[in-house]
Amino acid sequence: MSELKSLNDAFVETILSDSTLLTKPGELIQKLEPLLIKDTSNMRSFQTLQKALNLNIGENILAAIEDEERLAEEFKNAKRTLQQTGMQDGRIEDVLNLIKNAISAVKTKEQEKIAAAEAEVLSHSENVEEKSTEDYWFCQNCGAKNTGKFCKMCGTSKEGIQRHTNAPPSIPVNTTENAEQSAEPQYNSHTESKKPLSGAKIAIIAVIGTLLAGFAIQSIIGKSKNIANNQPQTASVQEQKSDKKVEEKKVETKKEKLVPKPASAPSELAFGEIFIGQSENEVRRILGSPNSITTPNSPEHRHFEYNDMTVVVTHGKVTGFISDSNRYASKRGIYPGSSQADVINKYGKSEHAFKADGYDIIFEYPFNSEDNRPCLLRFAIKNGVVNYVSARIWSEEEERREKRSQEKAQQAFINYHTLITRRDFNGAFNTFSKERKARYKNSVQNFSQGYSATLSSEVVYMSLNYINDNEASFDYVLVARDRANGGVIRQEFEGKVVLVFEDGSWKIAETESRKIREEME
């Protein structure tokens, strides 16, 4: 059985392995969940941390890690952001302390790396210094600098005696030249200057240099002619390949240029330069006059229709927008064409997700506008990529209605396991959808056989995946106690449940689970 980890230990350990995970809340949560799911005492704090990370505070703090003053300011900003969500001060402090501990560990690790590198450089410089102090001497015959017993250039010994070698004699280029050389006296490089080259030597060197240069030029010209005359097709193919690579590079560059910059507006509810709460005058200044203005819902909500965006203006303020153009991007860089994985990495798991006709799934994320009104930022996913981006004001009534719906769906699943513990199998069976009942041939007896040894079943953790008017999905952890081998075995399961709204109430439609722990009591 693996050792259980506290939330602090698991968080610090994960951030130390890759500090950039602070900028990817979705990926970070996925890595943390398996480390914590076995210890249900961590779940409430884990959910709080998840909400905080989804507000992008980790990315801002990591960007300021090198500047102590800016880092302190970002922690203050993070506290204000969390307070705006209604989070309790105690939980805010817990979350910020977790992140502070992780940042401190990252900085310590970097300092240790720097210290190790400095020590290695110091060690290397000491070795070089030791080598530089070795004894050396200059040859009395040719003046070369040496460290061994014999000259590396002419073989003369350190004491001035010529060393005998078995090397073959050198082949003279010109006997007259060699005679002149042998007739010349030897000069000591430290006491006298060397004799200048004779006119004969200079002439010979010049002739040899001219001949060598001529041969080299002829060789290059000959090779060029061979390539041109003997392999014209290959050269042409090479040129075509080269042209093709250049064109491909141009295309890649154009594709890179199509990726829009993140929204420049300060609000999370922004797309390009347009954001919720912006004035009508600012919209006209940025986008110009609209192609048309419509009022499909009510006269007070005017739709400004542009080529690549629709902006909803109510009483002179932007209250919504929608766009399928990749000319713009959200504050965190998501645009039509971004992958579903990109959305989750940047915004985390959406608790306001649902399926809709023509789309794989729709993710919605709650944010407050500049004038502190609750809003939803939406990414509609089709064929694995973002199809459009929109934002709108989320009324308090909508929020209350969704919260009540979520609580009822969650309670339906909890009630099912309470009824199992009470061994009220008829009541438990009636929490199923019609389709799920049909799988048991509408027989309570067929269903109850699977719980013959069960003593209790309790849901200890639930997290919303998505919810809409017709369907809801949750992740869950439950603890079951069963009779086994004359004793009692305690088992923990994690899984996913899907509920559907049927005949006026929430019913269990699908469940899946896997065992994560078991022990005998």
What CA–CA distance (Å, rounded) separates 270 from 395? Answer: 19
Q: Mean of the pLDDT values across residues 281-286?
A: 92
What CA–CA distance (Å, rounded) separates 423 from 409? Answer: 22
The more confident residue out of 309 and 62 is 309
Backbone dihedral angles phi then psi of residue 151, each to the nearest 5 degrees: -65, 130
DSSP state of 330: B
For residue 39, the model assigns a pLDDT of: 55
What CA–CA distance (Å, rounded) separates 452 from 191? Answer: 110
Residue 514 pLDDT grade (very low, low, confident, very high; cuts 50, 70, 90): very high
| 387 touches 336 (CB < 8 A) | yes
The full set of domains in the chain, from first to last, is 1-160 (no CATH), 270-394 (3.40.33.10), 400-520 (3.10.450.50)
For residue 136, the model assigns a pLDDT of: 65
> Reduced to 3 states, what is the DSSP secondary structure of residue 422?
coil
Q: Which helix (H) or strand (E) holds 344?
A: helix 340-347
Residue 36 pLDDT grade (very low, low, confident, very high; cuts 50, 70, 90): low
- Outline where DSSP puts E strands in 374-452: 374-382, 385-393
The more confident residue out of 40 and 188 is 40
The more confident residue out of 326 and 264 is 326
For 154-195, the three-class secondary structure string (H helix, E strand, C coil) is CCEECCCCECCCCCCCCCCCCHHHHHHHHHCCCCCCCCCCCC
Q: Please, which residues have CB within 8 angstroms of residue 272's CB and are 6 or more apart in sequence? A: 260, 263, 264, 265, 309, 327, 328, 329
Q: Read off the pLDDT of residues 364-423 as tens digits, 9 standing for 90 and up.
A: 999 988 778 889 999 999 999 999 999 998 877 776 777 888 999 999 999 999 999 999
pTM of the predicted protein model: 0.41
Q: Is 80 exceeded by the pLDDT of residue 264? A: no
What CA–CA distance (Å, rounded) separates 465 from 349? Answer: 7
For residue 235, the model assigns a pLDDT of: 42
Q: Is 80 exceeded by the pLDDT of residue 507? A: yes
For residue 247, the model assigns a pLDDT of: 52
For 450-467, the three-class secondary structure string (H helix, E strand, C coil) is HHCCEEEEEEEEEEEEEE
For residue 182, the model assigns a pLDDT of: 39
Q: Mean of the pLDDT values across residues 22-39?
A: 71
Backbone dihedral angles phi then psi of residue 88, each to the nearest 5 degrees: -65, 145
Q: Mean of the pLDDT values across residues 508-519?
A: 92
| 10 touches 102 (CB < 8 A) | no
Q: Please, which residues have CB within 8 angstroms of residue 195's CB and are 6 or more apart in sequence? A: 184, 187
Q: Is 90 exceeded by the pLDDT of residue 426? A: yes
For residue 193, the model assigns a pLDDT of: 40
For residue 44, the model assigns a pLDDT of: 65
Percent of the chain with pLDDT over 70: 73
For residue 365, the model assigns a pLDDT of: 92
Q: Is 70 exceeded by the pLDDT of residue 246? A: no
For residue 258, the model assigns a pLDDT of: 61
Q: In Å, what is the CA distance from 105 to each residue of 12, 16, 26, 65, 99? A: 7, 7, 22, 12, 10
Q: Read off the pLDDT of residues 335-375 as tens digits, 9 standing for 90 and up.
A: 999 999 999 999 988 878 888 778 889 999 999 887 788 89
Q: Mean of the pLDDT values across residues 279-286?
A: 92
For residue 126, the model assigns a pLDDT of: 58
Q: Read off the pLDDT of residues 154-164 as tens digits, 9 standing for 90 and up.
A: 777 766 544 44
For residue 449, the model assigns a pLDDT of: 85
Residue 295 pLDDT grade (very low, low, confident, very high; cuts 50, 70, 90): confident
How many CA atoms lie less than 13 Å away from 31 in the CB half-sphere?
19
Q: Is 70 exceeded by the pLDDT of residue 256? A: no
**Which residue matches tokens 């609000």?**
267
The more confident residue out of 507 and 261 is 507
